[in-house]
Chain A
Amino acid sequence: MNCCSMNILLLPIVIPLAAGVLTLLLPRALKGVKELLALVATGATLYYAWVLFQAGEDVRLLVPWTSFGIDFDLYAPHFARFILLAAAGFQILLTLYSTSFMSGKWRSKEFFAYLLITAGMTNGAVLSNNFIVLLFFWESLLVTLYGMISIGHKGAHPTATKAFIISGAADFLMFLGILLAWKISGTFTMSEIHLDSHGLGAAAFVLMSLGAMAKAGAMPFHTWIPDAALDAPLPFMAYLPAALEKLLGIYMLGRISLEFFTIHMNSPLSIFLMSLGAITIVFPVLMALVQKDYKRLLSFHAISQVGYMILGIGTGSAIGIAGGLFHMLNHAMYKCTLFLSGGSVEKQTGTTDLSKLGGLFKAMPITALCFWVAALSISGVPPFNGFVSKEMVFHGAWETGHPIFAVAAWLGAIFTFASFLKLGHSSYFGKRSLDMPTQKPRESGLAMLIPMLVIAGGCILFGVKSEIPLKHFIEPILAGKPVVEGPMEFWHHAYDINWIVGVSMGCLLIAFLLHLYGFAKSGGKAHLASEPVHNLPVAHKLYDWAEADVFDMYNWFFNKTIRGSAAAIYVLIDRGIDALYERFMIWVGQLGIGRLKEAHNGVYANYLAWVIGGFVLVAWVLVSAAAR
């Protein structure tokens, strides 16, 4: 290890952090400086991430921090270098986009500062090789999460609080899981931890993976995301829930299931992950289907798609895991593009309400094009990137011998495509709505279009030439891991015709027909195309409950259950003890004093009797002591 390789691990953390702190200190009057600073900082980060990725060696930086095995330990194996490179790419593109989108917005200086600090903390979490250093960066993200949501608008703070509490609770679960892993292994050094998943190990696995999945936005830790879609500044959605949190959460889940523990096909832990993945696919996508707001619809997909990644990793088969990890990268790309297209629409039309949009293709052709590339990618239409990774997940799920998981994944595919047909149709095609706040929308500026075009181009490239990401990014992660049997040349079969692809194409067809039916049924209003599903007898009631947050863990657990129990404990125990002091002790005291007072009645003989009695008592004690 030489001095340069040491520095290069620190740079992707320190550069954005320093720039972020500097941005906070900048005077408000300086125009354009914060944007320039942010671009330079994220550009430098990307450069060093690229150098690090190219270097191809596992560099490490180990500096003692404090006692008990807590060392400042950074290490960059292939997996971390890949995630760092991807994260750095999103960081600069989102910064570029924000320079235009956030210009003139409320508290935009803070936005850039949080964006940069988040970048530094994320990069730190990716590179850390000591669990405490990991927690240090990982949990620090809570602070900027809270900040970024609360600057959305004046009433955004309840959502920020909700996000903070849910994510904070999940982080504490991970914290506990890490301490359990430490209890078993006796070390915090991540590269040295390889544990059995039995007994305490299983508990550690579940807690750590819950923490990782919560970061990625899986159920039941997802409920703040749709709220944030409406309240937070839009680039935040593309930045964290769509891109960085997915990368970070799934990166950690990947390391937990491949490295710290080994997940075997059909082991209880594998079933646990797959079940959580399947649930996370199905329910949010059903919610997404009936949404009538551009951003909120996307946010439910940001949850649903995590299900594919978790399902893929949970299969324990090489193709499934590779598919899950590839899907993570693909999702970050297309979901980012989708949110950015939403931001473009919001900026130009002044609304994201689907009933007020329509016919934007002509006015905003590039935004529309990018949207459709990303929408077809997320729906798993060939030849875009989402198709390849989803097929790999379907294969992996089928290999486990539990068809239910593959069925859940296909079900998700139907509704994903249906909801994107609805979204795309109602905003870009059809007639322009008269309710649109800006009646003459124009195409957005280059700063917003370039990020969308770059990522949408990536979606096509990674679909058509899927061997590039698979060979350079994904396969080295799996190389040498016990789950891999035989050669991993997934891309050879990416476009093979087999019955699994047939089923997937069938799902797409069903979705298309569903949309046509709904469109016809609603009288040509594309944003109502999902109403036939929405109005199914039982479904309607469930949808109403879901919209009223009945299923929201934040609502029933963090609000109602905890508040109720706290009230009971407060009244019964705390106030009970206080009553002992305030009532019982005073009553006892008064009772005793009352009796003693009665002894003071002023009668001489009475006092004499006390004196003689006392004298007798003392004499008796002395005499009996002397006699002994």
Chain B
Amino acid sequence: MNWEFLVLATVLIPVLGSFTVPLAGLLSRPLRNAWAVLLGLATTACAMALIPTALADTPHVFTHAIGFGLDVIFVVDGLSVFVASVSSFISTLIIIYSLGYIKEYDYQQEYFMMVVLFLGGMMGLVFSANLLLMYVFWEITAICSWRLVGFFRDREIVLKADKTFLTTFGGAVFMLLGFVMVYMRTGTFNLLEMRGFPLRGWEILFITMGIFAKSATLPFHTWLPDAGVAPTPVTALLHAAVLVKIGVYAFARIFNFTFAVPMDWQFYLMLLGLISAIVSACAALMETNIKRLLAYSTISQIGYIFMGLAAFNVIGITGGLLFILMHGLAKAGLFLAAGVIEHGTGSKDITKMGGLMKHMPLTGVAFLLCIFSIIGIPPFGGFFSKLMVIQGVIQSNHLVIACLAIFTAILTTIYLLRLFTLVFLGEPRDASIHAHHEGTPVMVWVVVASAALSLAAGFLVKYPMDLVGVALTDILGNPTVQGILGQ
């Protein structure tokens, strides 16, 4: 199959396929479930089938002119294929897990449709090399996240869904303003034509607002913990696979790959990442709701990704991109395990839990392994990504930021072990909480698979690194990155 067919399939299978999911649901429920999983698998397969194309020397560009600046331009290079493969793979894991989790709730038709459409929006965004097209897919994911966070129809929950939508949408409006300002100076929305174009402060600020709002970075982060009211697989999807990784991807595509960013802004962006990482790590230490705690942990780890990308050197960007994979695997595992816990105990309050190891040994061990990966303990994959991010920060001469990043890693150790201890060890603290069983086998095995993959990603770090390396050779065409290397 040629690459043009594959890239179109990767985007169109989930986007168009999502609308057929409810139709399948009209026929039968098992058929619908199988169909949704099949769409996810097909998307993943197509995205991964593009890896050989990406490993080739030059980026492949698919262009279909429409006019009005809305030309369809899809770029197949290391960066897009890496993110697409990771996202679609983790999304598919989560869809499989959903089969067990969601089966007793209403609105399943909408649920599966939205999840698949979400994946499609992400795929479209990742391959787009046109700012307007990116914005369109960006908002598709915003709508999906709004519906999925508000899956349970209680008023409180719907309000949180509105907060999610309004915050990310508000950021996106500023980002669109930034895009228009860039357009005024370049006359094009085609990213490939703008490589090396120097951005100005306001443009960076506006685009960053959109990115940070989507990636839940300080000061646009508080919607993410609130979005924990969503069903757990949705939360996992938001955290590990699609939503918050959109901002990260956009950062890499726009700032690292395309435009030239002035030195002082590189420092500000890194600083913002650091502040976000520290503040949310502190918040995670205080939280007692398992999903809110994990949400703050995500914000904190996303801060690391931004630190790495904002180092604007090869090691830092590699670390940041690798982090997407490592964090995605481990965080998906943690959230899905949290879903098993929530199902088993009917509670999210960690101060009431305790001693769950006895009832859910597999989930407990997988949870602990994922924690090790998030902290950055070898032999888990998280070690390498954190190592390279901090290495990149040090290479760009920001030693104080590196020290504080290490301090944040220690905070991470503290709050995640506190979480594990409170949930799984000791004696139950509340008589009303008693889990007599693990989750359904499918749910537990998806959790275990995430932990196992986190471990494997550490030993086999070479393979994702090769793909990231290709992404880097593409990014290296950017004068900002070259300039830093020349120093």
Please give the residue numbers on chain A whose beta carbons come within 8 Å of chain B beta carbons, in ascending order: 65-68, 132, 135-137, 139-140, 142-143, 150, 155, 157-158, 161, 164-165, 168-169, 172-173, 175-176, 179-180, 182-183, 200, 558, 562-563, 565-567, 569-570, 573-574, 577-578, 580-581
Contact = CB atoms under 8 A, between A and B. Distances in A.
Contacts of B280: 574
B388 A139 contact: no
Interface residue tally on B, bucketed by range? 35 or more
Interface string B167-184: 100000000000000000
B174 to A, nearest CB: 15
Main secondary structure of the interface of B (DSSP, over half): helix
Given A67-B469, A179-B390, A574-B222, 12 more contacts: A137-B378, A139-B377, A143-B377, A157-B426, A164-B417, A168-B375, A168-B410, A173-B406, A175-B390, A182-B391, A562-B414, A566-B286
Contact of A67 (B281, B394, B414, B465): B465
A570 B286 contact: yes
B148 interface: no
A169 B410 contact: yes
A168 B412 CA distance: 11
B421 A139 contact: no
5 contacts: A68-B318, A136-B383, A140-B377, A168-B413, A570-B279
B205 interface: no
Interface string B236-276: 00000000000000000000000000000000000000000
Contacts of B426: 155, 157
Nearest to A164: B417
Contacts of A142: 377
Contact of A179 (B218, B279, B402, B414): B402
Contacts of A566: 281-283, 285-286, 411
B411 A68 contact: no
Main secondary structure of the interface of A (DSSP, over half): helix
Interface string B387-399: 1101100110001
Nearest to B223: A581
A573 B275 CA distance: 10
B221 interface: yes
B437 interface: no
B416 to A, nearest CB: 10
A155 B163 CA distance: 43
A183 B222 contact: no
Nearest to B463: A66
A157 B465 contact: no
Given A142-B377, A577-B219, A565 B167 contact: no
Contacts of A173: 406
Interface of B: 163, 167, 218-219, 221-223, 278-283, 285-286, 314-315, 318, 372, 375, 377-379, 383-384, 387-388, 390-391, 394-395, 399, 402-403, 406, 409-411, 413-414, 417-418, 421, 425-426, 461-462, 465, 469
B386 to A, nearest CB: 9
A566 B383 CA distance: 25
A140 B283 contact: no
B2 to A, nearest CB: 30
Nearest to B279: A573
Nearest to A203: B399
A169 B280 CA distance: 19
B282 A565 contact: yes
A175 B410 CA distance: 12
B387 A135 contact: yes
A521 to B, nearest CB: 43
A262 B81 CA distance: 48
A581 B378 contact: no
B406 A175 contact: yes
A161 B469 contact: no
Given A158-B421, A566-B285, A577-B219, A169 B402 contact: no
A569 B279 contact: yes
Nearest to B465: A66
